[in-house]
């Protein structure tokens, strides 16, 4: 009751106020109203008896509307003096933008009353919408990898609530930058100057906009962004104690022990504060093949391997089965998918002046079972026969080590210590001692490849052209990048592995001494092998997928995991690009030309949520305060650290004004009834 009411009067005041209702009753019962009326004498005694009945307690209460109105007036006045109210959220500005995170981690079920985080975020925004005044306006933006304007600026609360209810969860990753740039376009309009004689006037009006970011913060900071007129507030959604176990890697590769066997590799992460055990089940075409139980320490990862028959083909699925005492709060990463298709040996050409560590890495038994590697000297590139050969699609991959061809081959390429002979690659000079700060672990080339401990003496910066992707980043810029080229892909490793100096051959990096070095080259050959390009399992949600198909096919559809269909876009003859990858699971490309003979599956690919930032759903801890309380990590936006606010600034919403208005209305009604002599 202390939060609902606030005492206004002292004991004496309440004592006097408490005497008013009994006084009203006393006045009504002490005052008899008899009207003079001439009646026959035979009815006189009946009238007297009736008058006595009317003056009895319950009869007078039943008959007197004025008494009821006067008591209601006193009750409203007493209630107003108690100042009833509640704690609400204050909105102090005029324009508001609500950014609502709907990425995969927001599907975690640790929200209010067992609901999802997205549901909790929508409830909090709905509470803020309720506080909008008539002169305030707001807009809503939902975001994951791509932002979406759900509702533009409006002061219509009904439209805002309806738009809010339309927001659905997704399986995508989180990219706050896109949402901020979209909000910035509304909050910071470009300035337009108007000249009037010798003076200039600013035409556009610059207004401050309150920006509410409702998210669990499972993303990196946004660098190089200025908030401008945006007054950002971060409202974290989630809990420090959330727990989740996730499949972070699922792929297939040639077995180590025998050439005719395949292996399925599954890695599971334990994002909880306790050690856990989990059963990993492996299915092929919905048929259980095998299962294994693994123990995982708190905050660690563990892996298991399943042996597959050499002739295995079809759709693979790995599934986690938890113990009864473990509540997994994110189900999206409990299953992962892969596609097994027939494999063929790839042809690889290595052009190098001499690189013993690279040649050894490409000569392992695993690689021999997968690809045929040929080695030539750079001098051969000047011969016409070589130019004709690399322009005839003879090779699946050409590796140029410390050299550059006169023209790009009709094949996938990988450059070491050099940039491709194309103008769209930004030129670079050698940069000394880069420190690797990040690499794309989800990309097939860096699956199970640790780069954080690699030291490099000098490097070129691998700045890819438009449409490319940085795979390894450093303190001075990108070191490894990949970019599409027609039906092929080009990879650039900016630093040499070995080079030539005054003393002869020298190492430019200690990478060959690391276990990740042979793993990387195995990934390279597996990724670029002719059939593997269509079956790798590392497509992420809402990311475009490029596949090669026969150039004779021109009428294709894609069957999505939920059974719906979507048309296919051809980037070029034989190259398919598909963008609608919002769902997790297996996608099948179907040939529509042979529909009369039955649907034929041309290619299949899998989309999985392999992202530690989304799977580790625990709120990020910034520090423990002196009182031992954990604090949510702030958002780094440009040069501003937006501190987390467990709730918005609270303000007491009181009803006494409305109660006094009601009392005034009762008083006017009582005066009207009394003067019109209305009796009920």
Q: What is the pLDDT of residues 584-618, one digit of tens each?
A: 999 998 887 655 556 778 888 999 999 989 999 99
Answer yes or no: are the C-beta atoms of 431 and 459 closer than 8 Å.
yes
Model confidence at 79, in pLDDT bands (50, 70, 90)? Answer: confident
Same domain, 145 and 235: yes
Predicted local confidence at residue 263, as pLDDT: 83
CATH code for the domain in which residue 462 is found? 3.40.50.880
Predicted local confidence at residue 58, as pLDDT: 47
pTM over 0.75: no
Predicted local confidence at residue 648, as pLDDT: 47
Model confidence at 457, in pLDDT bands (50, 70, 90)? Answer: very high
Answer yes or no: are the C-beta atoms of 361 and 521 closer than 8 Å.
yes
Among residues 530, 548, 567, which one ends one of the domains?
Answer: 530
Same domain, 336 and 398: no
Lowest-confidence segment of 13-22, 343-352, 507-516 by average pLDDT: 13-22
Tell me which residue range forms the domain holding 78.
11-84+655-676
Model confidence at 125, in pLDDT bands (50, 70, 90)? Answer: very high
Same domain, 269 and 406: no
Smallest CA-to-CA distance from 122 within 37, 214, 13, 189 is with 214
Predicted local confidence at residue 307, as pLDDT: 87
Per-residue pLDDT, averaged over 19-47, amounts to 61
Cα(263)–Cα(338) distance, integer angstroms: 12
Same domain, 394 and 460: yes
> Is residue 492 domain-resident?
yes
Higher pLDDT, 296 or 77: 296
Same domain, 180 and 200: yes
Per-residue pLDDT, averaged over 117-131, amounts to 91
Per-residue pLDDT, averaged over 557-585, amounts to 86
Per-residue pLDDT, averaged over 448-474, amounts to 92
Predicted local confidence at residue 314, as pLDDT: 84
Same domain, 230 and 95: yes
Higher pLDDT, 294 or 671: 294
Same domain, 359 and 467: yes
> Is residue 154 domain-resident?
yes
Report in angstroms the alpha-carbon separations of 395 from 278, 659, 678: 44, 85, 104
> Is residue 589 domain-resident?
no
Q: What is the pLDDT of residues 658-675, one digit of tens each?
A: 777 877 887 787 777 777
Phi, psi of 551 (to 5 degrees): -65, -15
Predicted local confidence at residue 552, as pLDDT: 62
Q: Enter the tokens of residue 269.
A: 């992460």
Cα(546)–Cα(423) distance, integer angstroms: 24
Counting the structural domains of the chain, the total is 4
Q: How many CB atoms lie within 10 A of CB 178?
A: 17
Phi, psi of 623 (to 5 degrees): -170, 160
For tokens 């501003």, the residue is 640
Q: What is the pLDDT of residues 257-283, one digit of tens each?
A: 444 567 888 999 999 999 999 999 999
Our measurement of the distance from residue 52's CA atom to the centroid of its chain's CA atoms, rounded to an integer in Å, reads: 78
Lowest-confidence segment of 151-160, 197-206, 292-301 by average pLDDT: 197-206
Same domain, 504 and 381: yes
> Is residue 468 domain-resident?
yes
Predicted local confidence at residue 168, as pLDDT: 94
Going by the DSSP 8-state scheme, the letter that residue 73 receives in this structure is H
Same domain, 642 and 660: no
pLDDT over 70, % of the chain: 78
Answer yes or no: are the C-beta atoms of 335 and 319 closer than 8 Å.
yes
Predicted local confidence at residue 388, as pLDDT: 81
Average per-residue pLDDT in the chain? 81
Q: What is the pLDDT of residues 363-385, one digit of tens each?
A: 988 888 778 899 999 999 988 88
pLDDT over 90, % of the chain: 39
The residues that bridge with 192 in the sheet, in sequence order, are: none
Model confidence at 89, in pLDDT bands (50, 70, 90)? Answer: low
Predicted local confidence at residue 533, as pLDDT: 42
> Is residue 594 domain-resident?
no
> Is residue 214 domain-resident?
yes
Answer yes or no: are the C-beta atoms of 602 and 596 closer than 8 Å.
no
Same domain, 142 and 104: yes
Report in angstroms the alpha-carbon separations of 157 from 118, 452, 568: 20, 50, 40
Q: What is the pLDDT of residues 56-66, one digit of tens each?
A: 554 545 556 76
Smallest CA-to-CA distance from 554 within 569, 534, 544 is with 569
Among residues 296, 319, 342, which one ends one of the domains?
Answer: 342
- pLDDT of 91 > 70? The answer is no
Q: What is the DSSP string of 350-373?
A: EE-S--HHHHHHTTSHHHHTTEEE
Same domain, 24 and 173: no
Predicted local confidence at residue 113, as pLDDT: 77
Q: What is the pLDDT of residues 611-665, one digit of tens each?
A: 989 999 998 887 655 556 678 888 888 888 888 886 544 555 667 677 778 778 8
Cα(574)–Cα(571) distance, integer angstroms: 8
Cα(299)–Cα(278) distance, integer angstroms: 14
Among residues 472, 496, 530, which one ends one of the domains?
Answer: 530
Same domain, 461 and 360: yes
> Is residue 569 domain-resident?
no
Cα(646)–Cα(644) distance, integer angstroms: 6
Lowest-confidence segment of 18-22, 243-247, 330-334, 419-423 by average pLDDT: 18-22
Q: What is the pLDDT of residues 387-411, one digit of tens each?
A: 888 877 778 899 999 999 988 998 8
Predicted local confidence at residue 281, as pLDDT: 95
Predicted local confidence at residue 616, as pLDDT: 92
For tokens 């809503």, the residue is 140
Model confidence at 28, in pLDDT bands (50, 70, 90)? Answer: low
CATH code for the domain in which residue 142 is found? 3.40.50.410
> Is residue 407 domain-resident?
yes
């Amino acid at each position: 009751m202390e939060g609902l009411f606030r005492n206004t009067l002292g004991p004496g005041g309440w004592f006097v106020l408490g005497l008013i209702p009994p006084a009203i009753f006393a006045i009504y019962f002490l005052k008899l109203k008899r009207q003079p009326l001439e009646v026959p004498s035979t009815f006189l005694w009946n009238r007297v008896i009736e008058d006595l009945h009317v003056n009895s307690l319950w009869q007078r209460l039943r008959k007197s509307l004025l008494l009821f109105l006067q008591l209601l007036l006193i009750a409203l006045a007493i209630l107003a003096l108690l100042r009833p109210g509640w704690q609400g959220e204050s909105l102090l500005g005029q324009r508001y933008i609500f950014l609502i995170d709907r990425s995969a981690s927001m599907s975690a079920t640790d929200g209010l009353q067992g609901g999802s985080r997205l549901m909790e975020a929508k409830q909090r925004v709905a509470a803020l919408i309720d506080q909008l005044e008539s002169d305030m306006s707001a807009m809503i933006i939902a975001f994951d990898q791509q932002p979406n304007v759900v509702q533009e600026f409006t002061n219509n609360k009904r439209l805002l609530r309806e738009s809010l209810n339309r927001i659905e969860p997704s399986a995508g990753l989180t990219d706050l930058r896109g949402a901020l740039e979209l909000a910035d376009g509304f909050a910071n309009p470009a300035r337009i100057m108007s000249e009037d004689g010798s003076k200039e006037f600013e035409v556009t009006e610059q207004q401050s906009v309150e920006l509410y970011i409702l998210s669990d913060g499972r993303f990196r900071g946004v660098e190089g962004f200025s908030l401008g007129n945006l007054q950002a507030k971060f409202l974290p959604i989630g809990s420090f104690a959330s727990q989740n176990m996730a499949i972070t890697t699922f792929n297939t590769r040639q077995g180590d022990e025998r050439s005719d066997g395949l292996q399925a590799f599954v890695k599971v992460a334990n994002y909880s504060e306790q050690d856990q055990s989990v059963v990993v089940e492996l299915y092929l075409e919905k048929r259980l093949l095998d299962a294994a139980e693994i123990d995982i320490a708190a905050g660690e990862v563990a892996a298991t391997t399943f042996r597959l028959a050499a002739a295995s083909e079809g759709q693979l699925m790995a599934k986690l089965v938890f113990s009864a005492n473990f509540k997994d709060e994110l189900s999206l990463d409990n299953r992962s998918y892969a596609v097994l298709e027939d494999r063929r040996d790839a042809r690889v050409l290595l052009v190098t002046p001499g690189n013993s560590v690279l040649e050894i890495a490409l000569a392992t038994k695993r690689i021999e079972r997968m690809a045929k590697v040929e080695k030539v000297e750079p001098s051969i590139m000047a011969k016409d026969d070589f130019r004709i050969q690399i322009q005839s699609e003879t090779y699946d991959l050409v590796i140029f080590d410390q050299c550059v061809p006169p023209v790009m081959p009709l094949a996938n390429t990988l450059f070491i210590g050099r940039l491709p002979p194309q103008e769209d690659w930004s030129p670079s000079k050698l940069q000394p001692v880069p420190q690797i700060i990040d690499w794309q672990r989800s990309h097939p080339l860096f699956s199970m490849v640790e780069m954080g401990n690699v030291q490099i003496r000098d490097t070129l910066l691998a700045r890819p052209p438009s449409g490319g992707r940085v795979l390894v980043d450093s303190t001075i810029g990108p070191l490894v990048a990949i970019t599409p080229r027609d039906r092929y892909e080009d990879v650039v490793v900016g630093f040499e592995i070995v080079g030539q100096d005054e003393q002869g051959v020298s190492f430019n990096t200690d990478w060959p001494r690391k276990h990740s070095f042979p793993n990387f080259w195995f990934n390279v050959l597996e990724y670029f092998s002719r059939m593997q390009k269509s079956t790798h399992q590392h497509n992420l949600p809402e990311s475009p997928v490029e596949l090669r198909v026969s150039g004779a096919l021109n009428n294709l559809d894609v069957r999505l995991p939920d059974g719906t269909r979507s048309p296919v876009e051809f980037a070029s003859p034989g190259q398919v690009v598909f963008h609608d990858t919002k769902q997790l699971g297996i996608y099948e490309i179907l040939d529509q030309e042979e529909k009369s003979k039955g649907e034929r599956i041309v290619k299949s690919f899998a989309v999985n949520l392999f992202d530690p930032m989304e799977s580790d759903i625990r709120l990020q801890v910034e520090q423990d305060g002196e009182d031992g309380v954990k604090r949510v990590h702030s958002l780094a936006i440009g040069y501003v650290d937006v501190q987390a606010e467990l709730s918005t600034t609270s303000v007491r919403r009181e009803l006494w004004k409305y109660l006094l208005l009601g009392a005034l209305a009762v008083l006017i009604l009582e005066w009207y009834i009394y003067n019109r002599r209305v009796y009920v």
